[in-house]
Structure 1
């Protein structure tokens, strides 16, 4: 009978298992298939028309008309955001820009904070853009762990969980600096991190996000970082990813520890929501250039890693 991740964590063996599983997956190219499930959510941001455009309050407009007045959609290693349209708030030009976000990729982004705004890096190459995007997301994880710390305190979590969330912020600042330096080697610069910080959420809302971001995304991310550390064609990237992998394994362990604690305070229906949030996501395909240079796993290897988490 297979041992679950929760059982491995209780035995103090989760971090060792993550590394063994990741290393074992490297020669398994071609042995596993990929799924096709994606998570689609909707977001909105404020926009403003110029003085020469007047739309009736409450009127809906297509993306082609809204494009000049709304931020464009954007792709990075964690999600695709597409502008779908806009709603005129009033006759003075205020708009609600509407976006569809598709997440199919459990990449090692660190925790993504609620309210993270998409931003484009300055990059002259595909590799530079990838590294800059990942640096941006490592910076975003600082905000995610800051929010997690505040919510753990608000909901009376054990002090050790609070302290580990605080330590994770320090880790992510270090990751942001290291990834930014790698991006700079390829002539790229990460975009500034912008987050619309939400108020403290309910315990179940926090726990559902933790299930997706900590128990799935960071667990996968820790294993992918191990693969990168061993296979990256650029030795500097491999060195950085080996250091990041150790921290991400600790962050994944924190996610599962929070899950265990939160479940003791939730109803059966609420615990079922956590189980649903732990569903797997489809790994992303990378170009041969990125696979070789950054050590990013081919789809078959990524699928094997995801199957190990499921």
Structure 2
């Protein structure tokens, strides 16, 4: 088992003191009812190339996003350091697609995750269905991480931790699916495009975004939900998920600490910039959306102001 990350755990514990005290009077049996929910735009990032092997541009990048049913895209060129020390500019595409009502704790999304829509008519059902879908998608993401860590010569404890995390996500999927079914929602199947080999820096780029930023914030939000949700079943499920997600965040930081020892200073700076960009992107997305009141009350999601406060508290750790 990986050693604990004291700074990460202390930061999360400090921010949880801001969680509002839960009133137990009339909470556990309240029926939240059913309210409409709106679709929203989501983004997924990929290093995939065009079918002919060429680098996508802003004019044809929808070709690499078509499995996501994307409606727009944007391309970048990312400097990548290869194991032999050489550097190339690799294509990096942002795919924007429509997804159902959001879940603040999204897990580790694998590259090539294809968009899906849950069958739900209630905000709570949609929320937990998407949560289950994303937890299920985290299983292949962690299995791929384990294989890539092995290929790049990572320590055995990191490989074991990645495999254990995949097992954790199976349990999280079951718990979230049960909550979704309770609210009459159906969880869509997870479809992921075939993985291709990639450089260590490309692995670390994803780890910075999905792990160091995404898993850290997701663990904090899950712990917040475990403390504030009025629904007792949500509190019970999220209390276990939160502890697991915190270990997943610790794994992400441990992977970065191990790998950056062998990176040149330029590659380390690019990795830090990737983490900064992911943090600011998350900050913009949180600021742009106020969760439905029923999700704040029954599912325990932080309000927009509370979420921005949590992100502010994480900035010193993530930035």
TM-score range, shorter chain: 0.7 to 0.9
- Aligned with residue 257 of structure 2, among 257, 260, 274: 260
Match for residue 202 of structure 2? Answer: 205
Closer/same/farther in 2, CA of residues 232 and 39 from structure 1, 3 Å limit: same
Partner SS, residue 294 of structure 1: coil
Deviations 1:91-131 (A, max 9, x none): xxxxxxx953599x993111110010010111121110111
Match for residue 71 of structure 2? Answer: 83
1:117-266 equivalences under 5 Å are 117-266=114-263
Write the distance in 1 (CA, Å) between the matches of 2:103 and 2:293. Answer: 19
Give ranges in structure 2 of 5+ residues lacking alignment: 22-41, 51-58, 74-93
Contact 1:41 1:102 in 2 (8 A): no
- Aligned with residue 9 of structure 2, among 16, 22, 30: 16
Write the distance in 2 (CA, Å) between the matches of 1:296 and 1:266. Answer: 38
Closer/same/farther in 2, CA of residues 142 and 10 from structure 1, 3 Å limit: closer
Give ranges in structure 1 of 5+ residues lacking alignment: 1-8, 29-37, 47-59, 64-69, 74-81, 86-97
Closer/same/farther in 2, CA of residues 150 and 276 from structure 1, 3 Å limit: same
Closer/same/farther in 2, CA of residues 157 and 106 from structure 1, 3 Å limit: farther
Closer/same/farther in 2, CA of residues 213 and 194 from structure 1, 3 Å limit: same
Contact 1:22 1:227 in 2 (8 A): no
- Name which structure has the greater RCO, CA cutoff 8 Å, separation 6+: 1
Contact 1:22 1:224 in 2 (8 A): no
TM-score, reference length from structure 2: 0.71
How far the C-alpha of 1:299 sits from its partner, in A, is: 1.2
Match for residue 88 of structure 1? Answer: none
Closer/same/farther in 2, CA of residues 212 and 44 from structure 1, 3 Å limit: closer
Write the distance in 2 (CA, Å) between the matches of 1:10 and 1:271. Answer: 23
Write the distance in 2 (CA, Å) between the matches of 1:45 and 1:200. Answer: 13
Is residue 2:294 matched to residue 1:298?
Answer: no
TM-score, reference length from structure 1: 0.73
